[in-house]
Amino acid sequence: MRANVALRRREFVVLSCAGLAAFFAIWALASMLGTTARQFLPPPWVVAEKFVELTHEPFSGFTLQHHLLSSFARFGMGFTLAVLIGIPLGLILGWFRWLDVIVSPLLDALRFVAPIAWVPFAALWFGTGIGGPVLVIFTGAFPPCVINAYRGARYVDQHLIEAARTLGARHWQIISEVLLPASVPSIVAGLRVSAGLGWQSLVGAELIVASSGIGYVLVKGQASISTSIVMSGMIAIGIVGFAIDALLRRAEMHLQRRRGGDR
Amino acid sequence: MSNIIFDRVARHFRRNGVDLAAVDGVSFEVRKSEFVAIVGPSGCGKTTCLRMAAGLDFPTAGSVTVGGKPVTGPGPDRSVVFQQFALFPWKTVVENIDFGLRAARLPLTERRERVGRYVDLMGLKGHESAFPHQLSGGMQQRVAIARSYVLDPDVLLMDEPFGSLDAQTRVVMQEELIKLARVSPRTVLFITHAVEEAVYLADRVVVMTRRPGRIGEIIDVAKVRMDEHWDRHERVEDVMDEASFVHLRTHIWRLLREQQSRNEQ
């Protein structure tokens, strides 16, 4: 049994690597064919070289790690804000029907407005300060937090709510001790979506309202028509996004294992 | 302690535009510190009656009063024990029992003392920090009963509490409940479809008819229990062996059977 699982895991890794290798091969081939100017589609090794160079030679004032760090700090703030406001709001909407009826149409409409649409307001309200990017990240990360907390709260086993009510629990105790723990699986799944959207929105925000950060690297690279810098930035965004998701997925799996025997 | 009065209670539901009577014209009283069991075929509205006493459902006609006051919603004065236990899976045994005491904002020392007493009384010692999924069905229901009793409610409402337990566990729990009722008597409304369970536990048994649920007959078990001295027996099976017990049980079975055949015609 155990050997079987290990073998599968090895197969999994091999296949993943094969996929990546195929991707780079096609990329290299497309670049070598020369149908597009080499400058516009640089081969992987040129990009890799640039990537390494960016890690120790400052570009637009900072090294790549530095840009990533300042991006990550903004992401952290926007995401944390979205979680801290979104999850309680979702639970409250899931509990109070009347509030749900008042607020939900507005929220449902707002979530179709792409985070990037907020960029002009971010610029107008906050200038080049930290507030702008944080606002844009927040608008991206907020809806999944609300929606998943709301769904979790709505689908709680009715018997548990009835038990809590007959035991004399008030609204606050039901929300914090019944709805919240019952919604944890749904909330954690929402956090993964939320982090992904937040990280994506961040790049959009930094395209316009920042003077550092990974999105800023993309803009500057584009301005100097250095496609290898743009691609290096894209790769860095992908790697960090993947890392954030992997971290949250681990948290999710850990949680599922711990709650495996519930119900 | 409070009594429960059902006064010409009806509960109608609308389903697909059709009006369905779950319960109709139900009147009876559960007197102070009396144990009343409702038996009846499934779908006769016995659970609906309990839910109306709990304040989880409301009559469309008539009234349900507890301690002279009409029921307007759930409250800790009327504890409910559910068939599905309804324990909080993320809370330990002690935290589950403590839930209602915390809702009542009692001081920590009193909460500890009360939880400890019911952990002892319900034989939960050694399982204090276990989670519900780590316990057997019988143990889970002990926790649920402790969680209700610990609030010292005026009224206990039990909705087929032993319905999902295996036969042996069920018998043990019935004995435990009788013991508990002796230590701290309560006004109890107990729903079951098991006739023997009703006769063994209750002072009076209310037999309900098939939909719409009405009251068929109310049987005074307490009188027979006293006259025939069932209490000298420790075990369920010895009580159930008594001729007077068998007689009552058969009588109720016949009532239910008549219902069945009337319904099939």
Separation of alpha carbons B194 and B165, rounded Å? 12
- The C-alpha of A166 sits at a distance from chain B's nearest C-alpha, in angstroms, of 5
Give the burial class of A148: count Cβ atoms within 10 A of its Cβ; 0-12 exposed, 13-18 middle, 19 or more buried.
buried
User: Chain A residue closest to B78 (CA)?
Assistant: A166
> What is the structure's pLDDT at A172?
92
Q: Is the pLDDT of residue B265 over 60?
A: no
* Residue B47: partners with Cβ closer than 8 Å, 6 or more residues away: B159, B160, B191
> Where are the alpha helices (H) located in B24-64, listed in sequence order?
46-54
Buried b (16+ CB within 10 A) or exposed e, A223-260: eeebbbbbbbbbbbbeebbeebeeebeeebeeeeeebe
- Token representation of residue B249: 């049980």
Inter-residue contact B199 to B236 (CB < 8 Å): no
3-state helix, strand, coil split of chain A in percent (to 5) is: 80, 0, 15
* Residue B10: partners with Cβ closer than 8 Å, 6 or more residues away: B21, B23, B24, B25, B26, B59, B60, B61, B62
Q: Which residue has the tokens 């409610």?
A: B153
Separation of alpha carbons B158 and B177, rounded Å? 11
At A62-93, the pLDDT tens digits run 888 888 998 999 999 999 999 999 999 999 99
What's the Rg (C-alpha) of chain A? 23
Q: Span A22-36, mean pLDDT? A: 86
Q: Is the pLDDT of residue A262 over 50?
A: no
CA A75, A81, A82: angle at the middle one, nearest 5? Answer: 90
Chain A residues closer than 8 Å to B150 by CB = none
Q: Span B20-31, mean pLDDT? A: 88
Inter-residue contact A200 to A141 (CB < 8 Å): no
At A114-166, the pLDDT tens digits run 888 888 888 888 877 778 888 889 999 999 999 999 999 999 999 999 999 99
Q: Is the pLDDT of residue A1 over 60?
A: no
Is A59 in a helix, a strand, or coil? Answer: strand
Sign, CA torsion B216/B217/B221/B224: negative
> What is the structure's pLDDT at A261?
47
The better pLDDT of the pair B97, A216 is held by B97
At B52-70, the pLDDT tens digits run 999 999 999 999 999 888 9
Q: Mean pLDDT over all residues of chain A?
A: 86
Q: Which residue has the tokens 């160079």?
A: A53
List, in order of start, the domains of chain B with CATH numbers: 35-44+72-77+153-264 (3.40.50)
* Residue A97: partners with Cβ closer than 8 Å, 6 or more residues away: none
Q: Is the pLDDT of residue B263 over 70?
A: no
The better pLDDT of the pair B257, A23 is held by A23
Q: Span B149-177, mean pLDDT? A: 86
Separation of alpha carbons A58 and A45, rounded Å? 20
Q: Is the pLDDT of residue B165 over 70?
A: yes
Residue type at position A112: F
Q: Which of B78, B84, B91 sits opposite A159 (nearest CB)?
A: B84
Q: Which of A166, A170, A179, A263 to mutate to test the interface with B (most CBs of B within 10 A)?
A: A166
Q: Does domain A42-258 have CATH number 1.10.3720.10?
A: yes
Inter-residue contact A85 to A142 (CB < 8 Å): yes
Q: Is the pLDDT of residue B256 over 50?
A: yes
Q: Which of B82, B100, B133 sits opposite A168 (nearest CB)?
A: B100
CA dihedral B195, B197, B198, B202 (to 10 degrees): 160
Domain ranges in chain A are 1-38, 42-258
CA B40, B42, B45: angle at the middle one, nearest 5? Answer: 70
> What is the structure's pLDDT at A57?
84
Sign, CA torsion B8/B13/B14/B18: negative
Q: Is the pLDDT of residue A263 over 50?
A: no
Question: Smallest Cα–Cα separation from B149: which of B161, B137, B131?
Answer: B161
> What is the structure's pLDDT at B44?
78
Separation of alpha carbons A17 and B47, rounded Å? 60
Chain A residues closer than 8 Å to B151 by CB = 167-168
Buried b (16+ CB within 10 A) or exposed e, A166-204: bbbbeeebbbebbbbbbbbbbbbbbbbbbbbbbbbbbbb
At B189-226, the pLDDT tens digits run 999 988 988 998 899 999 988 877 788 889 898 888 88
Chain A residues closer than 8 Å to B90 by CB = 181-182, 259, 262
At B41-53, the pLDDT tens digits run 877 788 899 999 9
The residues of B whose Cβ lies within 8 A of any Cβ of A are: 54-56, 73-76, 78-80, 82, 84, 86-91, 99-100, 102-104, 131, 133-134, 147-148, 151
Q: Is the pLDDT of residue A3 over 80?
A: no
Question: Smallest Cα–Cα separation from B191: which of B27, B49, B33, B5?
Answer: B49
- The C-alpha of B144 sits at a distance from chain A's nearest C-alpha, in angstroms, of 10
Residue type at position B252: I
Indicate the pLDDT class of residue B91, thresholds 50, 70 and 90.
Answer: very high
Q: Span A176-192, mean pLDDT? A: 92
Beta bridge partners of B188: B35, B156
Q: Mean pLDDT over all residues of chain B?
A: 87
Q: Is the pLDDT of residue B73 over 60?
A: yes
List Cα–Cα distances, B193 to B4, B27, B44, B167, in angstroms.
Answer: 21, 20, 10, 14
- Token representation of residue B119: 């952990």
CA B39, B40, B44: angle at the middle one, nearest 5? Answer: 130
User: Chain A residue closest to B131 (CA)?
Assistant: A262
Q: What is the ipTM for the molecules in this complex?
A: 0.87
Question: Smallest Cα–Cα separation from B70: which of B7, B17, B153, B11?
Answer: B7
- Token representation of residue B184: 């701290």
- The C-alpha of B256 sits at a distance from chain A's nearest C-alpha, in angstroms, of 29
> What is the structure's pLDDT at B215?
81
> What is the structure's pLDDT at A80?
95
Q: Span B236-250, mean pLDDT? A: 86
Q: Which of A165, A170, A178 sits opposite B88 (nearest CB)?
A: A178
> What is the structure's pLDDT at B93?
95
Is B219 in a helix, a strand, or coil? Answer: strand
Instruction: Give percent of chain A with pLDDT exceeding 90.
Output: 38
Instruction: Give percent of chain A with pLDDT exceeding 70.
Output: 95
